[in-house]
Chains A and B, each alone.
Chain A
Amino acid sequence: MRHFIDRRQNPKGKSLGNRQRFLRRARHHIKDMVDKSVQEKSIKDGGSVPTGERITIPTKGIGEPRFVHSNQGGFRERIFPGNKEFVVGDSFPRPKSGAGEGGRKASDSGEGEDGFTFSLTREEYLHILFDGLELPDMIKKNTFETETKATRRAGLTTAGSPNNLNLVRTMRNSLGRRIALRRPSTDELATLAADIEALEEEGAPTARDKKRLEELRTAFAALERKRKIVGYIDPLDLRFDTHVPVMTRNSKAVVFCLMDVSGSMQEREKDLARRFFLLLNLFLERAYDQSDVVFIRHTHHAQEVDEETFFYARETGGTIVSTALLEMQKIIEDRYPTDEWNIYAAQASDGENFGKDSLKCEELLNDVILPICQYFAYVEIMPTGTRDAMNDTDTGGDLWDSYVNVNAIWPSFEMLRVSEPAHIYPMFRRLFSIKGAEK
């Protein structure tokens, strides 16, 4: 009359569908909050967002309205336990509204008016963060995509190699066939055998016993014969997993982060650059199976460094931007064959460059880098409070002027200026918004 059922092993996430529907519903609010969080927070260490993200969204829009009684006005009688000294007729001023009579009337969201707090997973966070963005779809991208072979499961067949035998399906077929064809079970045989043995051991068999023994032996033989005919596993039962080869797009990307680390780049400038690189990396991580990051810093000479050194070590010297581009070219030739890798580059600088070097950069970009690059973004970090210069994109230092020329030729080249952390994310969105590649 009772069952105990262990449900603990049941698949988790029964409410996943509900969660997705909720996120979809509150998407608008969540997006605002995610945008805000990425703008305000200093994104620290490890080059990624933490495993989850707590956000608070306004309850408006995710409310579930009902007809509910107001808790003010009218006449009501409330009952309480624990009377101490009250007698009938005692009166006292009404407590301030909001203190409530023990707070029985919670709002329908259960969260009060101002906010609804919950956690997003990393995937959800990134999904929302980069929602509506896509990689600029450039013509040459196709030429860089190679196809590789992989295999995919493709159902069952009746023939195959033993290592692909699907045991579950095979045994299921076998069981069904054995039941249908009434294959004698070992139990039946064992019972018969036991009976036979018992009769055989009997000291003085009567005629009836002998006859019975004979019958049993015949039955036993028949059963055995039947067991031989109806095999335990028949070739008919066999099922094999099959795999078919499929062509998959090779999606590997490498991001080159180029940064000027000369004396003019202070903490603030570096932080801005870092934010941009980080966003770019997160974004590409989502789009590619495998993404590499290469950090190149430069003063008057360039070198490849690790992330830590890139962002935190100090270096002094002049500024020759082209060294970084040359270093990048060298690394691509050494390690990243262009037919396998999608190459992205982001360069951050305060716009200062040595003498005629800007022209050299222009040449390098036009002739060497951009033809093999999917995308090249240049971020110029402006001093704070230079709103005018930000809006005027035509004039700037030597480097900016040269890059403006490059920009005119290459659709895969983008340049922009930022002066505050809050600019980074909108800029980033502008660069990669779905029609971002159009000029």
Chain B
Amino acid sequence: MTAKIATQPLFDTSDWTFELMNTVHDAIEEIALGDLGLDVYPNQIEIISAEQMLDAYSCAGLPLMYQHWSFGKHFVRDETHYRKGHMGLAYEIVINSNPCISYNMEENTMAMQTLVMAHAAFGHNHFFKNNYLFRDWTDADGVQDYLSFAKNFISDCEERYGVDEVEQVIDAAHALRDQGVFRYGRPPKPTRQEIEAIRLQREGYVRERKLLDIWTDARLGEGKEPATAEDLALNNRLAAMNLPQENILYFLEKHSPVLAPWQSEILRIVRYMAQYLYPQKQTKVMNEGCATFTHYYIINQLYEKGLITQGAYMEMFHSHTNVILQPEFDDPRFSGLNPYALGFAMMMDIKRICEHPTDEDREWFPNFAGDPDWRSVLKDAWANYRDESFILQFLSPHLIRQFKLFVIADDAKQPNLEVSHIHNRRGYREIRRVLARSYDLAYLEPDIQVRDADLKGDRELQLLHTISNGIDLVDDSRTEVLKHVRKLWGYDVSLKGVDRVSGAELYARTTKKPKVFEG
């Protein structure tokens, strides 16, 4: 600690008030923007009670959500756990919107409110505003309006078509939520006419549908040239429907022969929500790392400036240490790598490499080791990577040794598990690869695409599951999901599992009833 400048602490009580929070917010802002140079949306900080926090939990943390029984189920489950004391509630929830909304619990002490503001209102907020995934894929300005549109639309549908009808469509759409995102095709920003078309459609639901189709189809349909003449018919068909298509919900929304416009709109809503939340799934480590680093830096600065008391500092530090606790694999508390711990350690490590690089660091990270401006290095990382690429790029041997990471290979064909890599010179790159991959959603989530559907023929929807490393799907839920797909498609659905490398067919499922031939 450097010598303290004698200043009056901002607060010395544990109770918070709005005036205090305002003052503290200013102090934090000064450090966050002035010192760290963060770039944030305006903050909207809302104080909520435990019950409201439970409400927010059940709806993926969003301030508004359409009604569905599954949210009720999550609510009663969380409520039961909470009342029994099995589960604590988060200190805050933060929403990627402009203004950036963060919910702070009323139970927090003033010290905790300070920590939470530094963490969410500046750390997460900066990440949301600057990370490329959020910039490209989510619409922070419009999300609140969209949520309110979705909620009203679905309740209108419930009135018009009945709760059961709507529930069935949402059930089916939810089953395909993970298959309702575009992973690779980057959505272009809609033009003014297109925004207008979307608005009109939201108001009239059906009108102007054609224009939208042209928009969405045109950007995805940059087609392949037909290879040979005999494939022309097939290729035309595939091209017309943008096949193969990884976004099954999108495909059903556009091409299902049986869905009414309102049903397609529900699919679009579910798909939009999935897409909106998708960047968060891809950046758990970075997002938490960024926020944790930010709050750590800020509370230390506040303390050094004498703006917080030693007691408050200790309290914040206590919960900071709890948050970044990483139990070892043989610890009963172990439940995988803690994204807060890993993220925070990596951010601190980047700072260390900039400030005090070793020879090893210079060898591994020639482009920023010893860079005097660690703030820019960090901000560049926060803006341009997701978990997988971030780890691949920035995980240092130093950190691998610090975490004592090791890899166990589990091959179902072998009777035993084997330690394949440990934290030594030979293992670094492999460990980094394995760790990065363990955050790559393309590997974590099954790769299932729409392959073909002959609308002029038997109309069977053909799905293709590309299997990596022989990892199959859970059969029960697969059968159930296929039933849901059948409901949305209206005709039979088949799913084939094919090995990624050999191309061999490993399984085939269909919703078709076995045919009975009668003499």
A residues contacting B by CB (< 8 A) are 1-8, 10, 12, 14-15, 17-26, 62-70, 72-84, 86-94, 101-104, 108-111, 116-119
Contacts and interface: CB of A to CB of B under 8 A. Distances in A.
A15 B71 contact: yes
Contact of B336 (A70, A91, A102): A102
Nearest to A12: B51
Given A83-B405, A86-B406, A94-B410, A15 B72 contact: yes
Contact of A21 (B72, B178, B417): B72
B431 A79 contact: yes
B55 A90 contact: no
B119 interface: no
Given A12-B52, A80-B408, A7 B416 contact: no
B410 A76 contact: yes
B407 interface: yes
Interface string B320-343: 000000111111001111000000
B412 A82 contact: no
A18 B415 contact: no
22 contacts: A2-B44, A3-B43, A8-B47, A8-B49, A21-B163, A24-B69, A25-B69, A26-B73, A73-B471, A75-B411, A75-B469, A77-B408, A77-B437, A78-B410, A81-B326, A81-B404, A82-B327, A86-B422, A92-B417, A93-B415, A104-B336, A118-B79
A5 B337 CA distance: 35
Contact of B18 (A4, A66, A101): A4
For A18, A78, A86, A89, which residue has the most chain B Cβ atoms within 10 angstroms?
A18
Interface in B39-85: 42-49, 51-52, 54-55, 58-59, 67-73, 75-77, 79-80, 83
B77 A118 contact: yes
A91 B419 contact: yes
A47 to B, nearest CB: 26
Given A18-B67, A75-B410, A79-B434, 6 more contacts: A2-B22, A4-B46, A22-B76, A76-B409, A80-B406, A81-B405
B231 to A, nearest CB: 29
Contact of A80 (B59, B405, B465): B405
A83 B423 contact: yes
B68 A21 contact: yes
Contacts of B427: 88
A68 to B, nearest CB: 5
Interface in B1-34: 18, 21-22, 25
Contacts of A7: 46-49, 52, 103
B473 interface: yes
Interface stretch (B203-211, B283-291, B363-371, B477-485): B477-485
A76 B443 CA distance: 11
A104 B179 CA distance: 22
Contact of A69 (B22, B103, B473): B473
B473 A68 contact: yes
B357 interface: no
B419 A62 contact: no
B472 interface: yes
A102 B163 CA distance: 40
A72 B412 CA distance: 8
Contacts of B335: 102-104
Contacts of B475: 70
Interface in B119-139: 121
Nearest to A60: B476
A384 to B, nearest CB: 38
Contacts of B328: 80-82, 84
B438 interface: yes
Given A66-B175, A74-B412, A5 B405 contact: no
A108 B174 CA distance: 13
Contacts of A111: 77
A22 B405 CA distance: 43
Contacts of B405: 79-81, 83
B477 to A, nearest CB: 4
Nearest to B472: A70
B480 A5 contact: no
For A8, A21, A83, which residue has the most chain B Cβ atoms within 10 angstroms?
A83
Nearest to A5: B46
Given A73-B472, A82-B328, A93-B415, A22 B175 contact: no
Given A18-B68, A25-B69, A82-B404, A5 B470 contact: no
Interface string B404-447: 11111111110111111111101100010011011000001110
Contacts of A75: 409-413, 469-471
B147 to A, nearest CB: 13
**Nearest 5 CB-CB pairings of A with B:** A82-B328, A22-B72, A18-B72, A65-B480, A74-B470
Interface in B88-121: 99, 103, 106, 121
B125 to A, nearest CB: 11
Contacts of B437: 77
Nearest to B426: A88
B295 interface: no
B448 interface: yes
A15 B58 contact: yes
A125 to B, nearest CB: 14
Contact of B58 (A18, A23, A86, A117): A18
Interface string B467-500: 0011111111110110010000000000000000
Contact of A18 (B69, B171, B426): B69
Contacts of A19: 72, 75-76
B175 A65 contact: yes
A30 to B, nearest CB: 11
A135 to B, nearest CB: 28
Contacts of A62: 69, 73
B403 interface: yes
B25 A8 contact: no
A79 B77 contact: no
A1 to B, nearest CB: 5
Contacts of B52: 7-8, 10, 12, 14
B329 A74 contact: no
A398 to B, nearest CB: 53
Contacts of B121: 2
Given A15-B59, A21-B167, A82-B404, A63 B477 contact: yes
A79 B58 contact: no
A64 B70 contact: yes
Contact of A79 (B175, B334, B426, B435): B435
B422 A63 contact: no
Contact of B407 (A68, A79, A116): A79
A119 B121 CA distance: 35
For A12, A24, A77, A90, which residue has the most chain B Cβ atoms within 10 angstroms?
A77
A15 B326 CA distance: 34
A72 to B, nearest CB: 7
Contacts of A77: 407-410, 420, 434, 437
Contacts of A63: 477, 480
A159 to B, nearest CB: 37
B471 A69 contact: yes
Nearest to A25: B69
A90 B409 CA distance: 11
B271 interface: no
Given A8-B48, A82-B404, A21 B409 contact: no
A194 to B, nearest CB: 32
B329 A82 contact: yes
A6 to B, nearest CB: 5
Contacts of B435: 79
B334 A102 contact: yes
Contacts of B175: 64-66
A65 B477 contact: yes
Given A21-B68, A80-B329, A118-B76, A4 B22 contact: yes
B177 interface: yes
For B99, B404, B408, B448, which residue has the most chain A Cβ atoms within 10 angstroms?
B408
Contacts of A117: 80
A208 B113 CA distance: 60
